[in-house]
Chain A
Amino acid sequence: MPINYVLLVSRQGKTRLAKWFTTMSPKEKTKIIKDVTQLVLSRRTKMCNFLEYKDTKVIYRRYASLFFITGIDPNDNELLTLEIIHRYVEVLDRYFGNVCELDLIFNFHRAYFILDELLIAGEMQESSKKTVLRVITQQDAMEEEEAKEEAKK
């Protein structure tokens, strides 16, 4: 079930993360971001998390001040996508320890890396939180080692 894109948007409409799993021209990308952000930000709290945009479905969920938005095909399972979003948020939370928007702003590349461990080509590759965290901590350890070697030089 391919996810087409993942966007993280703040309440003021700023993009905090944009991951595209299909190739499109930059103009199309900006248009989609603009339209979808407008649609999602105008939703009230009690409304359901599924929207329709042109001929795709948009699933979103609000966590504190951030909106996690994904775009999927119309015949995919929406509840499953919500689960994927939630999984991502849980991993981020574990990694950063009580994650907030600032963490994501200043460590955006790590957010991307974590997302990469969770989704490849729009498909979920790993559903276990522990495994994902293990991989990311391994990567971090490698970076630290390299940095230490540099410093030694």
Chain B
Amino acid sequence: MNINGLFAHSLTDLIRGIRQNKKNEQSYIAKEIADIRLELRRNDPDLKAQAIAKLTYLQMMGYDMSWASFHVVEVMSSPKFLYKGIGYLGAVQSFNQETDVLMLTTNLIKKDLASANASEIGIAINGLSHILTPDLARDLCADLVAMLNHSRPIVRKKVLLVLYKVFLKYPEGLRLSFSRMKDRLEDPDPSVVSAAVNVICELARRNPKNYLSLAPQLFKLLTTSSNNWMLIKIIKLFAALTPYEPRLTKKLLPPITTLIQTTPAMSLLYECIHTVIAGGMLATTGSGSNAESANMLAATCVTKLRTFLEDPDQNLKYIGLLALTKILPSHPHLVAEHKDIILKCIDDPDISIRMRTLDLIVGMANKKNLTEIVKRLISHLLPINENDVTTSSSLNNGAATAALMDPTYRADIIRRIIFICSQNSYANITNFEWYLAVLSDLTNIAGVNVGESLMQQFMDVGVRVKSARSYTVQLMMRLLADKKLTEPTRTEDSNSMVLLAAAWLTGEYCALLENPETALELLAQKSTAKLDPAIQATYLQTMLKIFAYWMNSLQYSWNEEARQSLVEMVDLLRDGIKDMFSRSPDLEVQERASNISVILDIIAEHVPRTPLKIANSISFAPTMPKPPAVLGSLYPLFFNQELNPVAPKAQKKVPVPEGLDLESWIHEPVPEQEPESSDDDDFLNERPSRWGEEAVSGKSKKKGKKGRDQEDTKESAEAKAKRKAERRERQKHDPYYIGGGGDSPKSQKKSQDDLDVDSIPIVQLSMDGFAKPIVATRHPCRVCGRGDA
């Protein structure tokens, strides 16, 4: 570079200076910027250009240069080619859509575009492509289109590409110049053709229909050209077009198949496969031969993708997995054949590849491979416990474990495990006990807070699967006793929400508990007070349930021991609840706690505190006194009838009892006295079927109101009565007619309805006549144990 200011630093000096002053970079640069400001005020074009060059470099490092935009334009207008280049570069780097001086550039760019020097034109066009605004686009569009016929292919090429940007900002221009652009497809210079294809491809992606007419030309290019770059673009373009033109599919299949089978270029191959999938050419519907060839094509694609997966190049593995994920919905069996190699990819140290494999596997899971997949995924989470990170030998291992400890990644894996297991209402799980064990393992090793999802899974499985309930309850007991959950050291990592599920399930199915007293003790321990209020509320409810059950069971073996343990338990619970929960800030917990403590007080009154007297009877067998009645009192509260999940369609399955006609009127409706008009009729005709058109009917209703007043006097009474009767007939069986959608018809009807309501006799309905609800598989509100509601 031959720029020489007298005392100013040149660009090289600046760069060297920055490199030398690494320690005080900020102050050095601040000084330089002050110098630059001075230089810009001078009138010397050389100095100015140099200053702008320095400023651009600093901008790249992050320092703002928008204050110098006017000077940048000055430098842009310099006659010297190098300075012009520097000016445009500065403009490109620092201007944005709001820069005011852009208006000044319009004329400047126009002049440059008309220059004789192709390089100058090149620079101008280039700069233009970055700083385009709608105004600039509009002004310069005509010039640019004229330049499409320039003698130099370089210029033609650039103009084409910048026109794309122009059309983005100024869509009108497209319509005017579309034909000229099309002509460029026939251009003798291949690079111009390539540029034209590029532009058309991008435009077509936004609006495919307009470009279908170009399909024959593009097809010719596809079959004749050997320029891989252009081929890729054309194929991509066809992918966008085929959804709109199904016949294209048939025509395209042969050349694309040949390409897939013969090309050595990986990127072209990938693009073909991608188009084939995305363009829907693998659809197996349609005529027989079409489906067959589509299947063969799919098989070829999958084979090729397998070679990608086997290649040591990570990139190919990545896109292989990506493409397989796309093919999965339409040809799952083909993908399943390569399950072995896909599973190997899960263990890859590269996290991008692992994420892609996760996607793929989630789609592939079925009954047979589910256990294997879940085992693999869990083994990924294990290193956080087993491997000691500090002693890992190679860096690779360290990075891999670092990635594994990333909380979002772990949460993602866990969520996916839950997702594949719970798909289709657990269609894939053969052994629920295994699944419950998996869930509890996840609770232990998770390391992130996925408590909500785990809790839902536990409750779901516990309620739906009767056979696994005893195992579930045992598992829950273990969880309740687990100190890591009840006294977590870092609350954001712990999964204490599962305790909610544990408590609820234990309470609901306490009949399956081996040792209710231990459960009660666990629930009443001191650490409970620190848990989340929702969990505390469930705990309280559960305590009452288990206590009721246990107390009831004492009836059958009432003796001194039993009495003592009862007294102890009551005291324990009362104290526990009074201490911990009665003063809790959470309203729900407080309310439940006070309820329960009152109940416990009542029970405590009835529990005999003195040792039992054993009446000695003649037969020397000590007869036990009768247990106090209070023991069995709580039990019916919770356990009268098992609460089963109900299917959403269960109501429909209930058979209507004999003699009950749901269609007949309970009471004859009182004849209405409201006068009618034809407009009103029309309005009422429209209304029932289209609720969405309330606005429309609202308008006609207004008309109807006026019309009614006017036409009242004209209609005769009989005609009115006849119409009324007809209308009522129509509305009798209309499921949508609720009666009221406008202002005055509604208020009129309301007054009518009031009259009707008063005169209907009140009928007593009893529950005896109805059949018991059918047991089905949807379960009640799972949130906070209101199973008793």
Contacts and interface: CB of A to CB of B under 8 A. Distances in A.
Interface of A: 1-2, 14-18, 20-21, 23-26, 30, 42, 44, 46-52, 77-80, 82-83, 105-106, 108-109, 112-113, 116-117, 120-121, 123-128, 131, 135, 138-139, 142-143, 146-147, 150-151
Contacts of A52: 352, 355
A46 B314 contact: yes
A80 B126 contact: no
Interface string B35-58: 000000000000000000100110
Contact of A48 (B85, B97, B130, B352): B352
8 contacts: A46-B349, A47-B351, A47-B353, A50-B315, A52-B355, A78-B315, A80-B232, A82-B315
A3 B309 CA distance: 27
Contact of B2 (A15, A44, A106, A150): A150
B86 A125 contact: no
A139 B126 CA distance: 14
A142 B117 contact: yes
B499 to A, nearest CB: 36
Contacts of B350: 44, 46-48
A113 B353 CA distance: 36
Contact of B191 (A23, A47, A128): A128
A120 B126 contact: yes
A77 B89 contact: no
A142 to B, nearest CB: 5
Given A46-B314, A120-B125, A83 B267 contact: yes
Contact of A146 (B12, B82, B158, B191): B82
A125 B12 CA distance: 31
B412 to A, nearest CB: 13
A141 to B, nearest CB: 10
A24 B60 CA distance: 15
A75 to B, nearest CB: 8
Interface in B215-242: 227, 229, 232-233, 236
Contacts of A20: 130
B315 A109 contact: no
B271 A77 contact: yes
Nearest to B88: A116
Contacts of A14: 61
Contacts of B319: 50, 78-79
B164 A44 contact: no
B53 A79 contact: no
A114 B108 CA distance: 23
Given A50-B319, A79-B270, A83-B229, 8 more contacts: A46-B350, A48-B314, A48-B318, A82-B267, A82-B315, A116-B123, A117-B122, A135-B122
Interface stretch (B194-202, B692-700, B728-736): B194-202
Given A46-B314, A49-B314, A125-B191, A109 B274 contact: no
Contact of A124 (B15, B57, B229): B229
Interface in B132-162: 154, 157-158, 161-162
Interface string B53-74: 1001100111010000000000
B429 interface: no
- Nearest first, the 9 closest Cβ-Cβ pairs linking A and B are A48-B314, A79-B267, A120-B161, A47-B350, A147-B2, A48-B318, A143-B82, A121-B129, A116-B126
A47 B396 CA distance: 10
A139 B122 CA distance: 10
A82 B161 CA distance: 21
A108 B125 CA distance: 20
Contacts of B129: 120-121
Contacts, number: 146
Contacts of A109: 53, 56, 85-86, 89
Contacts of A30: 62
B89 A138 contact: no
A47 B85 contact: no
B763 interface: no
B471 interface: no
Contacts of A25: 96
Contacts of A108: 57, 60
B101 interface: no
B57 A80 contact: no
B399 interface: yes
A2 to B, nearest CB: 7
B266 interface: yes
B338 interface: no
Given A47-B352, A128-B191, A135-B119, A123 B161 contact: yes
Most buried by A among B60, B233, B313, B399: B60
Contact of B315 (A48, A112, A117, A127): A48
Contacts of A15: 60-62
A48 B309 CA distance: 12
Contacts of A46: 314, 349-350, 396
A44 B349 contact: yes
Nearest to A22: B130
A152 B89 CA distance: 27
A131 B629 CA distance: 102
A149 B365 CA distance: 74
B317 interface: yes
Most buried by B among A2, A108, A125, A138: A125
Contacts of B86: 109
A127 to B, nearest CB: 5
Nearest to A50: B318
B161 A125 contact: yes
B662 interface: no
Nearest to A139: B119
B81 interface: yes
Contacts of B233: 1
B80 interface: yes
A44 B399 contact: yes
Contacts of A113: 85, 89
B34 to A, nearest CB: 21
B165 interface: yes
Contacts of A82: 267, 315
Interface in B96-138: 96-97, 117, 119, 122-123, 125-126, 129-130
A2 B236 CA distance: 13
Most buried by A among B82, B93, B317: B82
B395 interface: yes
A115 to B, nearest CB: 10
A97 B2 CA distance: 21
Contact of B157 (A24, A112, A126, A147): A126
A139 B81 contact: yes
A14 B270 CA distance: 34
Contact of B161 (A50, A106, A121, A143): A121
A49 B229 CA distance: 20
Nearest to B313: A48
